[in-house]
Chains A and B, each alone.
Chain A
Amino acid sequence: MLNKYPLWKTLMVLFIVAFGALYATPNLYGESPAVQVSGLRGVEVDASTLDKIKAELTQGNIDFSNIVLEKGQILARFADTEQQLKARDLLDESLGDKFSVALNLTPNTPDWLASLGGTPMKLGLDLSGGVSFLIEVNMREAVTKAQDAMVGDFRTDLRGEKIRYRSVKQVDNAINIQFRNEESMTAAYSFLKKRYSKYLLTENDDTLVLSVVMTEQRIKEIREYALEQNITIIRNRVNELGVSEPLVQRQGKKHIVIELPGVQDTAKAKEILSATATIDFRLVDTEGDIGSAINGRVPASSILLYERDGTPVLLKKRVMLTGDHIVDAGSSFDEYSRPQVNIDLDSAGGSRMSNVTKNNIGKPMATVFIEYKPTDRKDAEGNTIFEKIEEVISVATIQARLGKSFRITGAGSQAEAHNLALLLRAGALVAPIQIVEERTVGPTLGAENVRLGFEAIMMGFGMVFIFMMVYYRAFGVVANLALGANLVLIIGIMSLIPGATLTLPGMAGIVLTVGMAVDANVLIFERIREEIRAGKSMQQAIHQGYDAAFSTIIDANITTLIAAVILYSIGTGPIKGFAITLSIGILTSMFTAVIGTRMVVNAVWGGKRLDKLPI
């Protein structure tokens, strides 16, 4: 029979809309102020921290509505912001610098909904307030540094092989090695070719110059590495800022996006992000008395530092090796499958290390992580004073004379070895970074944007609603049902996709979809009217109307989708938000406007003998 949907099709439509509605509901529950506590520098929060926090809050007469430990964080919710702020100050003071205490807004999603994976939409910074930075990694510097290292390496290698050369110089992108005669050049060629697979070598017989350039592959590796290293370091620093839900993400080939929701004091954030970190190696002072050092009697040639867990270590003041000699560090397993950290030094660092360690075999060596952190104090010129923070991150016994490559074993777990490797790389921060873009949105503007966006959606929706009802009567009501379902589906899908954020342009995208979504219905309804005018029966007219409009609707929407996808690929933050809502809106509107309305039309008017249609 014409215009009847099989039951499964009706059920499918209802199911999809219900599914969308289910995942859209978390947005109705609102949020409550909370304080989030997480561990810093390897410290983990556990049940004892939870008990401590509970005790502190009770003692401080602060009422919390609930407190939980999940995903390595403690989240305490409060009835109002006043209690929240009090709790933050209290906990910040009592927990010390091992934990970060951040203000947070936690969704009040009911448990049953949360267990199904329901979460409210994520709001972009233009709606929630906060700051976003775009950081550029100086890739030229990264490559230049690698080339500097090559020059040193070649010198050492050739000297080691007793191949005589006149000079090794960096010329543009190449390293040119000048020889005295052809034999040495050929010897050097075959030696270097074997040793370095990632370089391209060219001999010039006339000038006796061997020219070495990095392969594209190698340059790409260096860039990737520089980017990754910076992301790791920035992530560590951001965690210390005490921001809930920070985002650190690479963007394109040389940029890093950092989003810090809720942060207003951008000056401090910027200083922390651009702080420098380095590494050095020192011998442990085994002769000095650690006990008296703790009491203030540190030997003149030594210095007292602490490990992360507070263990004091007495070190020689003299630095064995500074971290800028580190070329690479990574973690792996040794022959007994214990985690180890492999360190590669440049040639100068290698010979230095070898000299220092040959007389100190069997003695412990410490790795010190040094960070310069901004303080609240300023010097006479108004520049922020940086505080030098030194921390021992590993103590290991020197087993043999060390050279260019060596390893540290006994670093503990695999995770700790990995972490140590990351920190070691900070010593050789190959590429400096620069903030190239900053966008800060204050909380009032954010709240205003939410209100305006919401009003615009409601107003646009209302006007189209009324128009359609007046113009197409009962069929207009059907189109409006589809429009409502469409809005619910957009919100449901936006809430479900983890990466999707709602921004102000995104809200504009929703408004625009509302206007354009009815187009499919207008096309269908106009076609039905045409068919009726042409003298078809009512059932024929409905059938033909949907049929003929279908391919047009698909074509028209696909082209808009092309534009939206392209927009997504170039856009940043807010614009991406627009592209997302527009794309989702196009897809859902095709579903609701074509299949959804057909279901209702079929159910109400389908298969009956009708003399006219309310269209």
Chain B
Amino acid sequence: MQILHLKETLPFMRYRKAAMIFSLLLMLAAIVSLATNKLSLGLDFTGGTLIEVGFEQAADLKKIRALMDTNGFSDAKVQLYGSSRDVVIRLGQREDVKAEMLGNEILAVLQTGTGQSIDMRRIEFVGASVGDELMEQGGLAMLTALICILMYVAFRFEWRFAVGSVVALFHDVLLTLGLFSILGLEFDLTVLAAILAVIGYSLNDTIVVSDRIRENFRKVREGSPSEIIDISLSQTLSRTFITSITTLLVLAALFFRGGELIHGFATALLFGVFVGTYSSIYVASAVALALGISKESLIPEVIEVEGADQEQMMP
């Protein structure tokens, strides 16, 4: 079976200007939203206390809010979580020395106040210093990842490809962050993990494409750089689609079946895979092309590799 059966080369690079403008607009929107809406950071980063409880019957949020008010937790945010019986209560940072005891206190208040037997599902308390540190570490991790990848790709391919792929990664990360900002989704540690996984995925895609471009620069005698890139993209398009489909399939499983706790994770990855696929076609290749990738820039390596090819029996 075959979904795509390309007889001829698609002129991808003809639309690169339009794609570039499209990408820039999206990135601009993401930046604007990040600057105005900000990210709604989760407990991991802001610090504070979160209590998730399960009731036997549908929870009466009004009553719970009133209970919180009368017991001195007027800053408590009470929300349903996943189902009508699950309730999440969030509290901000407190100056109290005994901040770590808040969760237990609230649980006691709920138990006596509602008269229902309550199932403690989880309590999370994160101190302010931890959140700040994590923020710093998270940013640092993202940066380290990008730099390491830049170095690896520059070493294995060529600096133009490296810059292209890192620009594509930056594009993907920015758009995913933008999505979370625009939709007001909570950004927690699992989402950060998902974004790093998006980096991994998107790069995977970019490298497959770059690899083919390199190969075709050596193999195809005729043709301008943009034509060769078109040929390479067309050749890998079918693979790109199928891998995206299988990945999206498993992510859909995670999104629908994985439960409330990894919803954010699945959302970030679902979106990231879309953007990553697009960016490896348009952003990475277009940037490499704009930087002047050509047959000549890959020639020194050709001689080296051709000799080695003869012996290669792996795998």
Contacts and interface: CB of A to CB of B under 8 A. Distances in A.
B183 interface: no
Contacts of B290: none
A133 B54 CA distance: 23
B3 to A, nearest CB: 8
B203 A134 contact: no
Interface stretch (A95-103, A279-287, A292-300, A548-556): A548-556
B294 to A, nearest CB: 21
Q: Which of A457, A504, A555, A566 has the most chain B CB atoms inside 10 A of its CB?
A: A566
A594 B127 contact: no
A438 B100 contact: yes
A315 to B, nearest CB: 35
Interface in A215-273: 264, 266-267, 270
B152 A558 contact: yes
Contact of A550 (B123, B208, B315): B315
B124 A440 contact: yes
A22 interface: no
Given A435-B100, A511-B253, A522-B243, A575 B193 contact: yes
Q: Which of the four size classes fits the interface of chain A?
A: 35 or more
Contacts of B248: 515
Given A134-B130, A516-B201, A566-B141, A449 B250 contact: no
Q: Which of A436, A548, A595 has the most chain B CB atoms inside 10 A of its CB?
A: A436
Contacts of B121: 441-442, 444-445
B129 A511 contact: no
Contact of A575 (B190, B200, B235, B259): B190
B211 A464 contact: no
A571 B193 contact: yes
Interface in A457-504: 457, 459-461, 463-464, 467-468, 470-473, 504
Contacts of A136: 127, 129-130
A555 B207 contact: yes
Nearest to B129: A436
A362 to B, nearest CB: 48
B140 A570 contact: yes
Interface stretch (B32-40, B63-71, B261-269): B261-269
A289 interface: no
A456 interface: yes
B90 to A, nearest CB: 14
Contacts of B20: none
Contacts of A472: 1
B250 A556 contact: no
Interface stretch (B8-16, B23-31, B142-150, B220-228): B142-150
Contact of A522 (B193, B239, B262): B239
> DSSP majority for the B interface?
helix
Contacts of B247: 512, 515-516, 519
Contact of A464 (B200, B236, B246): B246
Interface string B212-248: 1001000000000000000000011011001101111
B122 interface: yes
Contacts of B54: 444-445
Given A438-B100, A504-B261, A555-B156, A563 B199 contact: yes
Nearest to A471: B1
Given A456-B253, A504-B262, A437 B130 contact: yes
B59 interface: no
Contact of A552 (B211, B249, B254): B211
B184 interface: no
Contacts of B1: 470-473
B125 interface: yes
Contact of B208 (A439, A441, A552): A552
B138 interface: yes
B203 A440 contact: no
A266 B104 contact: yes
Given A515-B251, A556-B203, A567 B193 contact: yes
Interface string A599-611: 0000000000000
B120 interface: yes
Contacts of B103: 266, 438, 440
B101 A566 contact: no
B120 A514 contact: no
A564 interface: yes
A505 interface: yes
A547 interface: yes
A80 interface: no
Q: Which of A136, A442, A558 has the most chain B CB atoms inside 10 A of its CB?
A: A442
Q: Which of B192, B197, B208, B248 has the most chain A CB atoms inside 10 A of its CB?
A: B197
Given A452-B259, A473-B1, A441 B122 contact: yes
A467 B119 contact: no
A18 to B, nearest CB: 20
Given A439-B124, A442-B119, A456 B257 contact: yes
A132 to B, nearest CB: 10
B201 A547 contact: no
B314 interface: yes
A582 B197 CA distance: 9
A514 B252 CA distance: 13
A512 B104 contact: no
Contacts of B236: 526
A153 interface: no
Nearest to A132: B124
A266 B212 CA distance: 56
A512 B269 CA distance: 9
B196 interface: yes
B265 A505 contact: yes
Q: Which of B100, B252, B269 has the most chain A CB atoms inside 10 A of its CB?
A: B100
B76 interface: no
B50 to A, nearest CB: 9
Given A467-B249, A563-B199, A578 B193 contact: yes
B211 A436 contact: no
B292 interface: no
B113 to A, nearest CB: 17
Contacts of A461: 250
A467 B3 CA distance: 12
Interface in B95-153: 100-101, 103-104, 119-127, 129-130, 137-138, 140-141, 144-145, 148-149, 152-153
A567 B141 contact: yes
Given A440-B120, A440-B123, A463-B253, A556 B259 contact: no
Nearest to B204: A556
A552 B253 CA distance: 28
B189 interface: yes
B261 A526 contact: no
B314 A550 contact: yes
A188 interface: no
A205 interface: no
A586 to B, nearest CB: 9
Contacts of B193: 505, 567, 571, 575, 578-579
Contacts of B312: 547
Contact of B242 (A471, A546, A559): A471
Contact of B101 (A267, A455, A464, A470): A267
A542 to B, nearest CB: 12
7 contacts: A438-B100, A438-B123, A442-B121, A456-B254, A505-B265, A512-B197, A563-B200
Given A441-B122, A559-B207, A595-B315, 17 more contacts: A267-B104, A438-B103, A442-B120, A444-B54, A452-B257, A460-B254, A511-B250, A512-B251, A515-B247, A519-B204, A522-B242, A547-B314, A556-B207, A562-B149, A563-B196, A570-B138, A598-B315
Interface of B: 1-3, 52, 54, 100-101, 103-104, 119-127, 129-130, 137-138, 140-141, 144-145, 148-149, 152-153, 156, 189-190, 192-193, 196-197, 199-201, 203-205, 207-208, 211-212, 215, 235-236, 238-239, 242-243, 245-254, 257-259, 261-262, 265-266, 269, 312, 314-315
Which 8 interchain pairs have the tightest Cβ spacing?
A460-B250, A560-B200, A515-B250, A436-B127, A460-B253, A452-B259, A515-B247, A459-B253
